Structure 1
Amino acid sequence: MTSNLIKRTKTEFIVLPAFHGDCILIKTYDINHNEFTILIDGGTAQTFRYSLKEELKNISRINLLILTHIDSDHIAGLINFFKSSLIDNINIDEIWMNNPDLVEVNNGELISVKQGDNFKKLILEKKSETKLSQISISDRLLNRSGIEFTILSPTSAIVNELYERWESLRLLQNNKSNISSVKSAYTLSLEESNKISFSPDKSINEDIFNSSSISFLLKCPDISLLLLADSRPEIIVQSLRDFGVNEKDPLIVDYVKVSHHGSLNNTSQELLGLIKSNNYLISTNGGTADHKHPSRETISRIVYNSNRNDEVLNIFFNYTLNSLRERIGDFINEIDLEHGNWNATSQNRF
C-alpha cells in the first residue's frame, strides 16, 4: 500500500536530530484525508545514517521533497539518501530546489567542487519522473491537494544573483565566520539582551546561500507552520508586509521553525513583532567549532517578543539542553526561566 492511500486525520511532524543542520519530516493529509508526506532538507551527511534512514524505512511515497538551499547541513543527508538503496523503494512526486549545479559534500561539511556527483544528476538518474520546481516569492501561493504554501523567500533577484555568482561562490564556501552569541550578552538578563539592536554582520548579498533559502508558511488542514530554513529576516519581514501582515495584525501560526538554528543574524525583533505564536522550534546540536548556535540574543528576542500574549511560550530544542550547554555554554539558565512565562523543552516529535 502506498503512503498516499493511508487515511490520516492529524498532522504529525518530527524535527530530526540533524546535528548542526535541518531535517524535518511532516506527515499531513490532503482534502480527501490521504496522507501527504513532506521532507524538508536532509541535514548533514551523518543525518541520513543515524536518523533519517530509519524514519524513511516505512515510507513508500514522498509527495514533496524540499531542499531549502545548498549548505552542507541541509543537502548532505539528501545526497546520501539518493545514493542509498532506500531511494529505489520510495516514489517522489515533486522536488523544490533552487540550484543550477549541486555537487557532493565532502566529509559532510563543505560543498566540494573536486567531488564528482551532481545532485541534480542523481535525481535524474534515480527519479527521472519526478517533477523539479524552482521556487521564489514570485510563486506566492501554491496549493498541493488542499495543502497551502505561502512562499516568503527567496526573492527572484536573490535567485538570479545566486545563479550568476555560482562559480565564484563555490570558492567562498571555505570562508569561516563565527555566528555565536556576543559574549557580553551571556552576562545580561534575557530581557536586557533583547534590547541589543539587531545588527547582522553580513549584508543579504554577502550571505547569499542563506538568503536563497526557500521559506514558507505551511497551512495543513489542522495546523500551520512557519518554516524559515536559514532565511534572512529582512526578506521575510518584507514578504509578510507585502501580504498585509503588520504589528497590529500579525501572522498567527501554530509553530515557528526558527531560522538558521537560532543564529544571531537570522532573527530580528522586527520579524518577531509580525508573528504571534506560542511554539518555536530550534534545530541544532549546538553547532560546530566555528559556527555555534543558538544565540542567547535570539532566545531573548523570542521570549520578549512585542507580540507575546499572556499564554505560556514554548521553545522546543531537538537536542537536550545539557548537550547544548556542553557546546556553547550557559546560553539559558534557571533564572531566565523564572521570568517571561516560558518553557525550554527538549522535544522533536509533534
Structure 2
Amino acid sequence: MLTFEALNAKHGDSLIVRWGRGDATHVALIDGGPSGVWTGTLRPRLLALAGNGTSARLALVAVSHIDADHIDGVLRLLNEMRDAHDARLESPWRIDRLWHNAPEPGMPAAGARAGAAAAVSQSIKQGREVRDLAGLLGLAGNPPLGGVVTAGLRADVEGMSIVVVGPRPAELAAQWARWQRSDAQATAAAYSDANVFNQASIVLLLAYDGVTMLLTGDARGDHILAGLAEAGRLDGGRLHVTLMKVPHHGSSANVTPEFFEAVTADHYVVSANGTHGHPHPDVLDWIARSRRGESFTVHLTNPMPSFHRRDSDDGFGIRVRAADQPGVRVVLHDEGGPSA
C-alpha cells in the first residue's frame, strides 16, 4: 500500500505519505502548512490515521524549508510533544526521525531589506524553535543522515528508499551567505525566484515498490535538475516519476517549459489556493505541452478557476479536493499493485 495526500494547507504545503503491507504501515509528514492548518486539518488527519493507538507514530517528519506556510504546523506538533514532556505525560505523538535545515547559529534575525525584515525574522525564529525543540525531544541530528540535509544523502526509512536531491551543499551555503549580504536578486527571467529560503528547500525523491515520488518544496527547477543529474537520476537528461509535487505551489518563477520536458509524471499535485497568484495558469500549459497528449492527472488542493478543465482530447484530467475531504489523496499502490 502506498498513498500520497496533499492536505488543504491553504497557500502552503502539508503532505502525508503512507506505505507498508498489512498492519505494518508507516506515515511520513512533509511540511505542516501555515497558521490554522494544524488545528483545522493536519492534527485531525494524523489522529485519524493513527487509529486507536495511544501515540500516533510518524516514521519521518521533514520540514522542506523555514517559510511559515511550510513550518508552522510542524512547529505546533513539536510544541505539543514538548508540553507533554514538560508535564511528564505520554505524548500524543511519536516521531522516529525529524529532518530539517535550521538557520545556522549566528545568523542575523533579519537582513537589511526593511520590507522583508518582519517576515524573514519570523521565519528564522520559527526555524530556530524547530532546531531547539528537536534537541529537547531527542530528535536532533537528522538521523540517519547526520548533520545538514543536502543533496547526495540517502536513507532507507521503513522500506522506503529516499534520495536527497536538494539543496546541494555549496548551493545551500551560498543562499545563506546571500541572505546575510541581503543581495538575493533575480538574474534572469527564467527560474527567477530569488527567495533564499525557497532555494534552500529540501527536495526528496522517494521510491517504494517501483513507485517514485518527487517532493520539491519551493525549490527552483534548475536546482532540482542539477541535483537529479548529480544523483545520476536523469537518463538522457530526463526522468519520469509516478508523482510530482509541483514546485512552489505552481509558481511560474520556479519552473519553465524545459523543466517539465525534463521531469514528467503520471500525477502532478499542486498545493495552493490562489494566494500570490499560485498556481500560475502558464504552468498547466507547460505541463500539458510536455506530455503531448499522453494521459496524466493534475490534482489540486483547492478549486482554481485559472486551471479550468481542458478539452478531453488533451488526454489529461484535473481532480480537485472534495469540499468535505481534508486533502486530495492519490492511491499509488494497493495490496494488488499500482493503481490511480
Q: Give the TM interval when normalised to the shorter protein.
A: 0.7 to 0.9
**What is the alpha-carbon distance in structure 1 between the residues aligned to residue 215 and residue 2 of structure 2?**
15
Q: Which residue of 1 aligns with 2:333?
A: none
Question: How far does the alpha carbon of each residue in 1:68-120 deviate from its partner, in whole angstroms, 9 at most, with x for none?
Answer: 0111100112122222369722111111111235999xxxx935459797221
- 1:209-288 alignment, distance < 5 Å: 209-221=197-209, 223-246=211-234, 248=236, 250-287=238-275
Q: Deviations over 1:137-195 (max 9, x none)?
A: 132x32223311122110101222344456566x99xx9x9xxxxxxxxxxxxxxxxxx
Q: Take 1:36 and 1:338, find their aligned partners in 2: how far apart are those partners? A: 37
Query: 1:162 and 1:246, CA in 2 relative to 1: closer, same or farther beyond 3 A?
Result: closer
CA distance 1:168–1:123, shift in 2 (3 Å): farther
What are the superposed Cα offsets for residues 237-285 of structure 1, whole Å, 9 maximum, x if unpaired? Answer: 1222334455757322111110000001112222212223221000011
Runs of 5+ unmatched residues, structure 1: 1-9, 178-196, 326-330
Matched to 1:143, the amino acid is D
Which of 4, 9, 15 pairs up with 1:18? Answer: 9
Counterpart in the other structure of 1:27: 18
Count of aligned pairs: 294
The match for 2:113 is none
Query: What displacement does 1:312 show?
Result: 2.0
The one of 167, 171, 190 equivalent to 1:158 is 171
Distance in 2 between the 1:121 and 1:150 partners? 26
Is 2:319 the counterpart of 1:345?
Answer: yes
The aligned residue for residue 298 of structure 1 is 283
Q: How does 1:129-168 map to 2 (within 5 A)?
A: 129=139, 131-132=141-142, 133=146, 134-139=148-153, 141-164=154-177
TM-score (structure 1 length as normaliser):
0.74
Partner of 1:199: helix, strand, or coil? coil
Distance 1:53 1:245 in 2: 35
Q: How far did residue 233 of structure 1 move? A: 0.6
Match among 40, 43, 49 for residue 39 of structure 2 = 49
> Does the Cα contact within 8 Å between 1:101 and 1:119 map onto a contact in 2?
no
CA contact (8 A) 1:154 1:213 kept: yes
Corresponding residue to 2:132 among 99, 121, 141: 121
Q: Identify if the C-alpha distance between structure 1 residues 167 and 128 changes in structure 2 by more than 3 Å, giving closer, same or farther.
A: farther
Q: Separation in 2 of the partners of 1:154 and 1:73? A: 19
Q: 1:94 — aligned with what? A: 97
One-letter amino acid matched to 1:345: R
Of the candidates 47, 50, 75, which is equivalent to residue 79 of structure 1? 75
- The answer on whether the counterparts of 2:11 and 2:272 sit within 8 Å (CA) in structure 1 is yes
Q: Which whole-Å CA distance do the structure 1 matches of 2:236 and 2:180 have between them? A: 44
- Partner AA of 1:124 in structure 2: G
Q: Which residue does the alignment assign to 1:189?
A: none
SS in structure 2 at match of 1:135: coil
Q: Sort the Cα spacing of 1:199 and 1:50 in 2 relative to 1 into closer, same or farther, 3 A.
A: same
* Deviation for aligned residue 1:135: 0.9
State the one-letter code of the partner of 1:318: T
Tell me the TM-score normalised to structure 2 length. Answer: 0.76
Identity of aligned residues (%): 23
Gap change, CA 1:99 and 1:158, over 3 Å in 2: farther
